[in-house]
Amino acid sequence: RPKAMPASNRTTRPAARAPRGAAASTWAIVREVLLVVTFVAALRLSLVTAAPSDEPSCSAADGGSGSCASEPSFARIVAIPDIHGDLHHYRQSLRLAGVVDGEGAPMEWTAGDSTHLVQTGDVVDRGQHSLLIMDMLANLTVRAKRVGGEVTALMGNHELMSGLMDDTRYVHKDEILLLGTKELDAMRELGGEGMGTSYGISAKWQTGTMVWHRSFGPDAKQGRRLRRRRPLATVAGSGFCKSLFSHAGVRSRHLDAFDGGVDAMNEAAAAAIQGKPDIGWLHHHPLYDNESPVWNRFYSLEGDDDDVCDEVNRVLTATRANRMVIGHTVQSGGMRTKCGGKLHLIDFGMSSAYVGRAAAWICEGGEVRARYADHTELLEREADGEKRAGDGGTEEAGEKKKKKKKKGWW
């Protein structure tokens, strides 16, 4: 008959197991906490990575130029309007503008020191490559600067909404889901098998939305770009090509509030979005409200143009520019002019969310053209020291009219 186990062993062995089990359980909890903390730290580090140190700032507070105004030496001024996350047509438009060649990544600036490129806002939303295009545009800015060129990207209402006001209604769902998927995959790699192998669409959506918001925080890469390098307006070029660019159009009252100066207006606009501004307050700020340079539709609506042209004249007199160039409102027939060529509306619906095509606005050699993939339209021409508006016809048609010099051209 087997001997009975000593009482001391019967009691001490289970007791010995209990502490080990508790320790393992405690260690598992600590391990999970450490993994989560590590993940959050890694996420924050990736989002807070600053923009390239040599990416120039438009903020006078950062030693920049305030309005990112063009230098007189630039012989060509080109503009790309609302991109809305469409990578394909963005690349095509840059090639039509003559500032890059080929499909290489990163894209190299090929316009040397002769060209200033202005992007009129609304890089983000609607298309699925918003953040990628913002990175590409920042890289192109640096590459242009290194060889004496210039790139200025303006603030649009969609940068304001989804970047600074946490309004992600127009962010493409695929971009949000991709952000969420990448971050959840990173979390699983950090956490091991215990974190699971798959996540539902709800988890991806919520995580992606969180990543989007953090990407535009005050210290995050994209957030720094919006706060440091997105003026409301810029005056670019000299002589015939000297033009005032903004997203939706600068009104005279915007300038009057700052003694008629674009630089002072831009500085006030930049100051308003530093840190994390109150969204309700920003909605009512005179430089960001519904009648602001990023939101108003005053210049683009159809109707009696007398009031519009009177206002254009006031603004151009104050800024000493020859024309105002704006995006914001899609022109279904392509780029066009109003007020005898003093107002250029250049949002042609680049993104496939609208029309889906490529084009560039180009001013050089006393002419302004809209260059599309299959043709070029003359928008405006300087002749005999006077400025004349084109009729939107093809370049060939414009040449015929130039030879005939009919009154209808004026």
The residues with which 243 forms a beta bridge, in sequence order, are: 236, 323
159: its two tokens? 């940068």
DSSP 3-state of 380: strand
Give the angle 254-257-261 at the CA atoms, nearest 5°: 75
User: Which ranges of 130-278 does DSSP label H, i.e. alpha helix?
Assistant: 130-146, 157-158, 173-191, 201-215, 221-228, 252-256, 262-272
Judge whether residue 60 has pLDDT over 90: no
pLDDT of 330 reads 97
Chain segment 165-212, per-residue pLDDT in tens: 999 999 999 999 999 999 998 887 776 554 545 678 999 999 999 999
* DSSP per residue, 237-293: -SGGG-EEEESS---HHHHHTTTT-HHHHHHHHHHHTSSS--HHHHHT-TTTSTTST
CA distance 300 to 90: 23
CA distance 170 to 57: 28
Judge whether residue 349 has pLDDT over 80: yes
* Mean pLDDT, range 305-333, rounded to an integer: 96
**pTM, 2 dp:** 0.80
Judge whether residue 8 has pLDDT over 90: no
Chain segment 245-297, per-residue pLDDT in tens: 999 999 999 999 988 799 999 999 999 999 999 999 999 999 999 999 999 99
Determine the length of the chain. Answer: 410
CA distance 42 to 28: 21
pLDDT of 405 reads 33
User: Which ranges of 49-86 does DSSP label H, i.e. alpha helix?
Assistant: none
CA distance 365 to 80: 19
Judge whether residue 377 has pLDDT over 80: yes
pLDDT of 139 reads 95
Q: Which of 37-41, 301-305, 322-326 has the lowest mean pLDDT?
A: 37-41
pLDDT of 384 reads 61
